[in-house]
Amino acid sequence: MSVWAILLVVVGGLLALALMLLGIPPLVYRLTRGPLERRVREHHAAGDVLRTDYRASFFGVTSQGMTQFRGLGVLVLAKDGLHFHMLSPSRDLSIPLADIRGTEVVRSHLGKTVGRKLLKVVFVQDGADDSVAWWVQDPEGWRTRIAELPSAR
């Protein structure tokens, strides 16, 4: 491996670590906001959206194991459920409100942490309990808002 390749790997790793520890820098946020807003408009009627966080960081679905990619995107609480639209790789995750069994605020998920509180959602999928977590700007506010909805348990 050449010196340049090693340097590139080290710099890329340091940049990824900085993003995990500091959150999404304002420039990245401004660049990603437009495409994420388009995804929200494509998938959700304006009157159905109850809450959004365009800086959400996905920590994975428990049943898919520890090796899945983390990713940035928008978390949307809508009248029909909780939806995450990941920017890259482009991926959508939807959890109907009726399938949500609980929420909590945790410090880590699947062995991953950023030293900040995370929103964890426990839900039923294919008859079995599963869970997912995100870093969002106000995890306690998200937890409270989801719990207020009549379909969420």
pLDDT (tens digit, 9 = 90+) per residue, 78-119? Answer: 999 999 999 888 899 999 999 999 999 999 999 888 889 999
Grade residue 59 by pLDDT with cuts at 50, 70 and 90. Answer: very high
Give domain status of residue 17, yes or no.
Answer: no
For residue 149, pLDDT over 70 is answered with yes
Beta-sheet strand order (sheet of 49-61): 91-96, 81-86, 71-78, 49-61, 128-135, 118-125, 100-106
* Average pLDDT score over residue span 59-76: 91
- What residues have CB less than 8 Å from 12, skipping those under 6 apart? none
Query: pLDDT at position 89, please?
Result: 84
Measure the CA–CA gap between 12 and 135, rounded to whole angstroms. Answer: 21
Distances, alpha carbon 119 to alpha carbons 3, 35, 43, 126, 139, in Å: 40, 23, 22, 22, 5
Number of H helices, E strands in the chain: 3, 7
Give domain status of residue 153, yes or no.
Answer: no
Give domain status of residue 16, yes or no.
Answer: no
* Average pLDDT score over residue span 5-24: 62
Q: Which domain holds residue 75?
A: 24-148
Grade residue 153 by pLDDT with cuts at 50, 70 and 90. Answer: low
Give domain status of residue 12, yes or no.
Answer: no
Give domain status of residue 41, yes or no.
Answer: yes
Give domain status of residue 19, yes or no.
Answer: no
Query: pLDDT at position 136, please?
Result: 96
First-to-last alpha carbon distance for the chain, in angstroms, is 53
Tally of CB atoms within 10 A around 113: 15
Give domain status of residue 15, yes or no.
Answer: no
Question: Three-state SS for 25?
Answer: coil
**Bond from prior residue into 89 cis (ω within 30 degrees of 0):** yes
For residue 10, pLDDT over 80 is answered with no
- What residues have CB less than 8 Å from 60, skipping those under 6 apart? 66, 68, 70, 109, 110, 112, 132, 133
Query: pLDDT at position 15, please?
Result: 62
For residue 17, pLDDT over 70 is answered with no
Give domain status of residue 57, yes or no.
Answer: yes
